[in-house]
Structure formats: C-alpha cells, structure tokens
Structure 1
Amino acid sequence: MDNSIMQHWALGILLLLLPTVFERAYNLSPVYQFHFLAYCFLFFSYVIGLVMQAYHFIPLYDKIMHTLSGTLGMFLGVLLFYLCKDKQEFQKQDYPLVAITSFSVSMAIAGLWEIGEYLISLFFLATHSASQKPAYPTPCRTSSYA
C-alpha cells in the first residue's frame, strides 16, 4: 500500500479522537449524541470522502457532508452558549438566544469551511468535489481551428 494512503488513514484515525480530547480539555461530561455526530462527520468526510474518494463517485456526497457539518455546527453553537452562560443551565427564556447563537456559529463554521475549500483549491490546484471546478484559471481555446 502507498505510504501517503497510510498517512491519510492514520490522520483519519487521529481525527476521531477530537471529541474526546475537546471534552477532556474543557472538563465536560460526555454527550454521546455529539460524539456520534462528530464521529460520523469525521469518518464520512475524511476517511470515506477524501481517502476513499467518495466525493468523486457518489452523487451529492458534498451536499450530504455540508448538511452533516451544519448539524454539527448547531451542536457546537449550543455547547458554546452553555459554556459562556454563568449558571450553565438552560431556562425557557434562553431558547431564542440559544437558537440564534447556534445558527450563527453554524453559519460562521460554514463560511470558514468554504473559504478553506477555496484556498486549498487555489494553492494546491485541487478540489475534493467532483462537481467543483478548480479556483485557478484554466487555459481555453479561443478558436476551434487551433
């Protein structure tokens, strides 16, 4: 097996440890729904999507991963609201603010994700999605006789 493929698999396995490391760093109790969603996103986007190149073979795979990342962003927004709150408990009057915070965090993550995808395609001349075109200009023919 190619050495670069082994490095990708090793990085994919290390990425699966992120939720546990995050919880231990902030001394949080585990939320298993968050673990499940984070593991699904990391596994499907990196291991299946990039290493096994599902972005090129499965139609709408990019849309599915964006939906899953948006859901994960909403969970992170709720977690951020919980960490920033003094009493660290939810009350009924907090629900609209929790919704606004989680939506804002999700949109910020989506914006940063798209900027990252653009910069990767710009600097490394590659894309992860089969439907995307590279960000760099490609030479084209101006005449059909050339």
Structure 2
Amino acid sequence: MQKLFRLLALATLAIASTTAAFGADHSLGTWKVNVEKSTYNPGTFPIKSLTSVREAADGGVKVTSTGERADGTAVNATYTAKYDGSPSSVSGEGSPYDTVSIKQTDANTFTWDAKKSTGQYHAHGRIVVSSDGKTMTMRATGTDANGRPMAVTLVYDKQ
C-alpha cells in the first residue's frame, strides 16, 4: 500500500510539473530593442527605439509597444493574443500590421504571423527567449507594405 501511495504521489508531481512548465511564459516582462544588434533587409533599420511590455493574458499575452520609427512617427500599439494561433487585432499607431497570431511551442519559443488588412505586408517567424532570460530574439521573413521581400531580426534586451 505504501508503494502505491508513493507511486501516485510521484505521478501527481510529474503531472503538476509538466503542466507548470508548459504554462510558463518566459517572454513576459519589459523588453527594449537593441537597435545595434537588430537587422532589416532591404534598406535601413526602420526603428529608432521600441519598448514592448508583455503581460500574461487569459491563454496568451497582452503586448504594448511604444517607441519611434526611423522617420520620426510614433509607435503606440497594443494587442492581446491567445497562444492558439487565432488572429487578434492590433490597435494604436505605428505598427506595420493590424492582425497578429501567436502559437507557443514551449516557455521560451513562439511562432507568429502578422498581416496588414490593406496592402501587402505579411510576416511570419519565431520568437525565442534565451536560456538565461536576458535576450529575446524575433526573426521574421515576408513581404513589406510594397510587396518586396524582407527579413527582420529584432534583438530585445530584458529591462
């Protein structure tokens, strides 16, 4: 009987640990783009400064981004997305996309897709938080607003 109790206790602990690990999200917090480490192709990097605050939301994340684009226009955009890949609307100004969808792979890895309902902007890629939790890298490829191929890497530092 004691062996059965220990086995059940271990099984319960394993299930609880797995659930906690899968439910974790190491992307939460305040992140600032490191412009020197970030890249954009083709052309010049389109962002002068960008800070994103990522907060837990029911089954996903609420992201609020503020900053300035290279042309001086403000960025003040927000969205709340579930991690099931369903599309969510982006509100505010300065974002190149107005719809985003995100799927969580594990506590440090996410895939995402972003589109603009008018125009040709469409990007998709991965977000990876470093194992030490100090850096978050978002890589994407797609087409810019003019339909040209683009590739972007945003490197964020945890604040």
**Global fold match (TM > 0.5):** no
> TM-score, with normalisation over the residues of structure 2?
0.23
Task: Name the structure where helix makes up a greater proportion of residues.
Answer: 1
